[in-house]
Structure 1
Amino acid sequence: MSRNMTYILYLYFLTKRLKNDSNGAMNINLFGITDPILIFTIILFIVLVFPAIFNKIKLPGIVGLIVAGIIIGPNTFGILENGDAINLISKVGILYIMFLAGLEVDIFQIKKNIPSSITFGLLTFFIPLIMGTLVGLFVLKLSVASSILLAGMFSTHTLLSYSIVSKLGLVNNSGATAAIGGTIITDTLAMLVLAIITAPSNEKNDILFWIKFFLFLAIYTLAVISLVPLIGRWFFKTLAKNETVEYIFVLFIVLTCSCLAPLAGLEPIIGAFLAGLILNSLIPKKSALMNRIDFIGNSLFIPIFLISVGMLVDLKILFANPKTWLVSLTMIIVALTSKFLAAFFSGKILKWSKNEIGLVYGMSVNHVAATLAVVLIGYDFGFFDDSILAGTIIIITITCFIGPIITEYFGKKIVLSEDRPIEERNEQNLRILVPIYNKNHIKDLMELSFILSKNYSTESIYPINIVMDDFNVENKIMESEKLLAVAVAKSLAANISVTPITRVDISVGAGIMKAVRDLRISCVITGWDGREKSLGKVFGYNVDPIVENSVQLLIINKIVTSYAAAGRIVLIVPPFVEKQEGSKEIFNIISNFSVQFKTKVLIVAQEDTLNGVSSLIRHLSKKVEIDTLSINFWKNVDRFLENIVKKDDILALFSARITRPAWQPFLSKLPGILSKKFTTNNIMILYPSEEKWRSRELQTPVNSEFLFHFIENRNFYFNLNNLPIKNAFNYILKEKFGKTPEVLNELSDILSDIAINEPLTLLPGVILVHTHISQIEGHIIYVGVNRSGFDIPNIPEKINIMLVLLTSTEQPPEYHLNLLKEIVHLLKIENFVESVSKSNSFKEFEKTFKAGCKT
């Protein structure tokens, strides 16, 4: 084990060997490029151009990078040498691939598919091991030890085409999950074979050697599993100031785990994969940090690794020795066939589709990092000769070509398959508003908005700061812009569109509610300091008005530490939520947060409540790991939580607004109680959106009962003949607003201006005039008839029917839009327009319309 070298040295020695042909002559570097800036420029050009070219000819970009490496490598045109700098970055590249594989995998899906991972992992290890050993003994005439070591090389594989699986959205596919989990099993077993075969012969029979070996392996594994989460949570709670520092920390952890892996007899790639699995729960999938990790890896480290793989290839080896052809061909057949048989039999046992078997084969057929490690160590120990070494390079070349092609082919077939489950989408296209007050909370509030935006929205996010109107307003606006600049910077790192807003108002709550109405916001994510409030207040003067006056989805957050360090989400569910509008929405939101934070969900509620929402819990359990706890008395929930809440848990309270089915006085007190008792926990209070906010279609046919409920009979006016448009409005509005002449005249002016300049033509001869006014609470609809017709500029025909919709300014935009939709729906019935236009009174219209509805 002491002679087990790091991968950088393997690549270095391999490069040195491949620089000599069979006659001992050195390959000539035709271009002699040594300038590091020019070398890096050439590499960036390749990364920029070659994937695009190969995508044009329907081949994966990965293949393009490998081909480019062959062309520029020292064994072909000699444009670049496979020097120390390229080797270093390429080494980090393969570690990055394995790290991303561990980081992006859904731990919940892995746990659900442990049998699948074990089944495939064992088959993809033992089938190549048996085939390789037999071929080594009887075809290649190798010794027993050499044959087993060669077979161990066949058992390994590298998730080279993982990026293709990720881009196709198949990471959580059952086959892909098994391939990812099986990788660590087969590569670890292959490294054990390597350690056993290469151990000094006098130590193999020494029991102390094996005790030491397995002791080191256990110590390393336990140390990584136990220490990395503790260090990670401490770091994200105390030292993480920005995404740059967070990224450096993550890369440091990955490289540390990789460097320490050889001490336990493991390859560095296993350490990187393990680091990804451990950090999985600390890095939300749709966070700015995750975006940065993906960006740097996919734009620098991984492409340079793929180029370096191509640079290792020496096509002249094939013509130097006839034996090389036989050895290479035999090795290629074994490598391709054994991995196919492993995927095929796994698929039959686990009932995968043909496309899933193909996907798993494409993911597992690639031989790169661990393969090189096994062969190079075997070569150094004298187990393999030059023909085996050359055959290995050819295997790497061929599998790196066909693996991505097979993966992409079958992956696309799965994506396009009719049997593939379609991800559920939220009913709403959320427009998210994020009020910003505290600079320390900007990162976490924006992270929450990013999570919801990437799943439920195609709209820009609106971070907003309300400035109080006073003599110092100019300076406050400048401070506001600085706060919002931080939010914009976070959005750029996460690649999310934002529209920052500064508003001046007499109060924060009023300013936010005006922005909610003006911007047609459907979700508000805001912060809360968690302090006790004065009598009658729940969250304080800034937040309470939003709760009281909004009908949008509202998420209020007391932020103590980063959400990235979350242990569990404890969802507290009050009685009667099954009768509460928006229950499914809240459960979906919690499911999304759980997936992103990589946490379990613990639902705490009374037994009858758990039964009432059992269907929602079952739906949630398909996506995340769920536990439930039943409590006897709802009003003792805070005391019950004292015994179960851990310091890293997020407390999520499903709340309800006053007068709603799930509301009770204790529910308004509970946020303050939780804040006081659980001072070290993040607290999230969620208010669901309500029915009148949501866009909806009429569920019943439009008939006379609906009409007369929708429009009051006194609001029909059939005697507007020969009246100018303003006088007609004055006449219509007089009964409601006649007691205040100034209001009547103002409204008449507004409506006549709209009718002249912005009329909405619904049908020939029918217009709609609509606006918001502050003098009413709900809405009013008028129908005016002028058989002689109004003359409206820019409308060629006479207008015989004029519909007027007035909505309170206190109502949200969707309320007004739903009314417009129902008016349009009403006009689709020809009998309505005909009955109105021909009637002289409401009684006549009622009789005609009802008769038409019956027919």
Structure 2
Amino acid sequence: MEYKYLLDLAIILLSTKLLGLVTRKFKMPQVVGALLAGVILGPACFGVIDNTDFIKTLSEVGVIVLMFSAGMESDIHQLKKAGKASLIVAGLGVVVPLVVGFAVASVFNNPSVIQTDLETSHFLQNVFIGVILTATSVSITVETLKEMGKLNSKVGTTILGAAVIDDILGIIALTVITSLADPSVSVGIVLLKIVGFFAFAIGVGVVTYILFKKWSDRHIDDHRRFVVMAFVICLLMSFCAEEWFGVADITGAFIAGIILSNTSHAKYMASRFETLSYTLLSPIFFASVGLSVVLDNMSVMLIVFALALLGVAIITKIVGCGLGARLSGFNNKESLQIGCGMVSRGEVALIVANKGAAVGLMSPLLFGPVVIVVVVTTIISPILLKLSFGGGKKKKGSGQKGTEQLPEHEPDVSTAPGADTVVQEAALPQKE
């Protein structure tokens, strides 16, 4: 058997921790250090570690657990209040990047500038590049908001809600464009599946909540069972979302967390998943994004295209989502915070790019610029988010209305759960 994966895991955990501490010294979120660790260890720099299937699989489980935890720690009443605002933010956060991304791609992706040698029309190729820019990966933002104690703020819940809606709108856009290139894909069927997923989620959610509550009330003395059963529900919802309905697995995980968020043991379960996340899964997920950077055969024109695409990716999300937030009644600072929280593309954009390549909408030549956009937006999003919040703690009671609903703390997310979690656990009977 090959045991190098054990060495790879040890190097990833150590490097993400060390660089996380370094970035924390510079008052940046520690996830930035974890992302940089992946870039440095991967083929883009020293090539010490490859992004193997094993690491990719663990990374996928990591982002599922991260979003599940975010769901359990979310305030469902706040999410309901933020529903309309989230819809407007997500809508403009899709339309603006799509239009501007198409315009930029039209300038570069043509035979006189960059020759891709694809049979698909350049119009569809350029629209698809715009579709890639509509993607949002909120997992990095979730970790940053947790680190700053802002996850349940009005801004945080709006970002979470918008990210879920953004995922659905992105799937619809991807389905429409791929159906034009691949006659075997039916737009109507995919849209029906999306509607079916949310009907499924509501029905299963109500039944699961009732059964889980009754079962947990009968086994109040052993909390370990709750954690195992909660993880089973998370994985099943993730599987059903991706396999049966074509919706991202992280959306299923987030909804599973929402279902369990109102149970009496939610805080205890969230603390246990936080332990699993920070000790293994989250560092691997963040490093895996950096490990995916491969920049071979990058010509001068491709580098220019990558920089232009990067600028568009950052500005259009801040402007589009920020404008949506402003129209929803947020002030200028809150609108900027929401825009910055939606910048990260993460693994979602890579998945979209791979699906487009499978039907001839994405040339391998353009993967380099797309990867640059994914990695840089993922690194810069938590930095912009923290800067938009002011970068530091505020005195109690001095926060803006709607953004300071939780006491802020800045725990070391890569070493221990927050102190508030420890207090919550101390109040619960445990049998372990």
Normalised by the length of structure 1, the TM-score is 0.44
Give SS of 1:297's match.
Answer: helix
Asked if residue 232 in structure 1 is aligned to residue 212 in structure 2, the reply is yes
Provide the rounded CA distance (Å) in 2 between the counterparts of 1:416 and 1:121.
29
1:360 equivalent in structure 2:
338
Q: Pick from 158, 165, 173 the counterpart of residue 137 of structure 2.
A: 158
User: Do the aligned partners of residues 366 and 283 (structure 1) sit closer, same or farther apart at CA in structure 2, a change above 3 Å counting?
Assistant: farther
Cα 1:283–1:412 change in 2 (3 A) is farther
Distance 1:352 1:416, change over 3 A: farther
Matches within 5 A, 1:117-156: 117-141=86-110, 143-156=122-135
Residue 298 (1) aligns with residue 278 (2) = yes
CA contact (8 A) 1:414 1:420 kept: no
C-alpha distance 77-452 of structure 1, shift in aligned 2 (>3 A): closer
Output the CA distance in 1 between the equivalents of 2:380 and 2:405.
Answer: 30
Q: 1:101 to 1:388 in 2, by over 3 A?
A: farther
Q: Distance in 2 between the 1:183 and 1:60 partners?
A: 20
In structure 2, distance between residues paired with 1:215 and 1:343: 24
In 2, the alpha carbon distance for the partners of 1:289 and 1:235 equals 15
CA distance in 2, matches of 1:61, 1:173: 21
1:176 match:
156
Aligned-partner Cα distance in 1 for 2:346–2:358: 18
* Maintained 8 Å contact 1:366/1:396: yes
C-alpha distance 218-184 of structure 1, shift in aligned 2 (>3 A): closer
Distance across 2 between alignment mates of 1:300 and 1:452: 20
From 283, 307, 319, give the equivalent of 1:329: 307
Q: 1:40 aligns with which of 2, 5, 9?
A: 9
* Secondary structure of the structure 1 residue equivalent to 2:109: coil
Post-superposition Cα deviations, 1:41-94, rounded to whole Å, max 9, x if no partner, equal: 222312432211221122221111111111222443222222222111111112
Map 1:119-518 → 2, pairs under 5 A: 119-141=88-110, 143-159=122-138, 160-199=140-179, 201-203=182-184, 209=189, 213=193, 216-217=196-197, 220-238=200-218, 242-262=222-242, 263-282=244-263, 284=265, 287-314=267-294, 316-317=295-296, 320-412=298-390, 415-416=393-394, 418-420=398-400, 487=429, 489=430
Contact 2:326 2:332 in 1 (8 A): no
Q: Which runs of 5+ in 2 are unaligned?
A: 111-120, 408-419
Instruction: Give SS of 2:12's match.
Output: helix
Over 3 Å counting, the alpha-carbon distance change for 1:211 and 1:259 in structure 2 is closer
Change (3 A) 1:76 1:112: same
Percent sequence identity is 22
Query: Displacement of 1:224 after TM fit?
Result: 3.7
2:74, 2:334 → 1: CA distance?
Answer: 17
How big is each residue's C-alpha offset from its partner over 1:316-357, in whole Å with a ceiling of 9 and x where there is no partner?
A: 43x632332132122112211110111331243234334323
Structure 2 CA distance for aligned equivalents of residues 394 and 155 of structure 1? 16
The aligned amino acid for 1:93 is G
Structure holding more helix per residue: 2
Q: Which residue matches 2:18? A: 49
Q: Give the conservation status (yes or no) of the 8 Å contact 1:379–1:385.
A: yes
CA RMSD after TM alignment? 3.1
Give CA-to-partner distance per residue, 1:192-243, whole Å, 9 cap, x none: 2222333474456796x46864575455434543443244334424467633
> How far did 1:423 drift?
6.2
2-structure distance, mates of 1:361, 1:198: 28
Following superposition, the deviation at residue 190 of structure 1 comes to 0.4
Q: Provide the C-alpha distance between the structure 2 equivalents of 1:139 and 1:424, rounded to a whole number of angstroms.
A: 46
Aligned amino acid, residue 355 of structure 2: I
CA contact (8 A) 2:109 2:122 kept: no
Residues 246/56 of structure 1: CA separation in 2 closer, same or farther (3 Å cut): same
Structure 1 residues 214, 85: closer, same or farther in 2, change over 3 A?
closer
Decide whether aligned partners of structure 1 residues 150 and 239 sit closer, same or farther in structure 2, where only a CA change above 3 A counts: farther
Q: State the distance in 2 between where 1:273 and 1:105 align.
A: 10
- Aligned residue for 2:411? none
1:109–1:177 CA contact under 8 A, matched in 2: yes
Q: What does residue 441 of structure 1 align with?
A: none
Over residues 557-616 of structure 1, what are the superposed CA-to-partner deviations in whole Å (9 max), with x where a residue is unaligned?
A: xxxxxxxxxxxxxxxxxxxxxxxxxxxxxxxxxxxxxxxxxxxxxxxxxxxxxxxxxxxx
Measured in 1, the distance between the counterparts of 2:71 and 2:214 equals 21
Q: Which residue matches 1:78?
A: 47
Task: State the one-letter code of the partner of 2:56.
Answer: N
1:149 CA drift (Å): 2.6
Q: Decide whether aligned partners of structure 1 residues 205 and 60 sit closer, same or farther in structure 2, where only a CA change above 3 A counts.
A: closer
Residue 244 of structure 1 and its aligned partner are, at CA, apart by 2.8
Aligned partner letter, 1:68: A
Q: How does 1:680-691 map to 2 (within 5 A)?
A: none
Q: Which residue identity does 2:400 align to in structure 1?
A: R
* Counterparts of 1:146 and 1:70, CA distance in 2: 28
CA contact (8 A) 1:283 1:289 kept: no
After superposition, the Cα gap between the structure-2 partners of 1:205 and 1:381, relative to the gap in structure 1 and judged at 3 Å, is closer
Note the alpha carbon deviations across 1:257-298, whole angstroms, 9 max, x for none. 11121221212122122222222222655x332211122112
Q: Structure 2 length normalisation: TM-score?
A: 0.83
CA distance, structure 2, for counterparts of residue 355 and residue 109 of structure 1 = 19
Inter-partner Cα distance in structure 1 for 2:366 and 2:207: 41
Counterpart code for 2:260: L
From the superposition, tell whether residues 195 and 283 of structure 1 become closer, same or farther in structure 2 (CA, over 3 Å): farther
- How far the C-alpha of 1:365 sits from its partner, in A, is 0.3
Deviations 1:367-398 (A, max 9, x none): 11221111011112110112321111101111
Relative to total residues, which structure has the larger strand share, 1 or 2? 1
Residue identity opposite 2:231 in structure 1: L
Letter in 1 for 2:257: G
Give the distance between the partners of 1:389 and 1:191, measured in 2 at CA: 20
Is this contact kept in 2: 1:328–1:387, CA < 8 A?
Answer: no
2:58 is aligned to: 89
The answer on whether the counterparts of 1:258 and 1:272 sit within 8 Å (CA) in structure 2 is yes
Residues in 2 aligned to 1:56 and 1:414: alpha-carbon distance in whole angstroms: 13
**Could you tell me how far apart the structure 1 residues matched to 2:326 and 2:258 are?**
28
Distance 1:267 1:337, change over 3 A: same
Q: Tell whether the 8 Å contact from 2:65 to 2:273 is kept in structure 1 after alignment.
A: no
Please give the alpha-carbon distance, in whole angstroms, between the structure 2 residues aligned to 1:175 and 1:219: 27
SS of structure 2 residue aligned to 1:366: coil
Distance 1:201 1:238, change over 3 A: same
User: Structure 1 regions of 5+ residues with no counterpart?
Assistant: 1-32, 426-449, 462-485, 494-855
SS at match of 1:158: coil
Aligned match for 1:100, one of 69, 86, 89: 69
Q: Which amino acid aligns with 1:114?
A: G
Measured after TM superposition, the shift of residue 169 of structure 1 is 2.2
Greater relative contact order, per chain length (Cα 8 Å cut-off, separation 6+) = 2
Q: Match of 2:115?
A: none
CA contact (8 A) 1:195 1:265 kept: no
Aligned-partner Cα distance in 1 for 2:422–2:308: 52
Structure 2 CA distance for aligned equivalents of residues 195 and 240 of structure 1: 46
Residue 114 of structure 2 corresponds to none
Q: Which residue of 2 aligns with 1:540?
A: none
Identify if the C-alpha distance between structure 1 residues 248 and 205 changes in structure 2 by more than 3 Å, giving closer, same or farther. closer
Give the deviation of 1:38 after TM superposition: 2.4
CA distance in 1, matches of 2:361, 2:46: 32
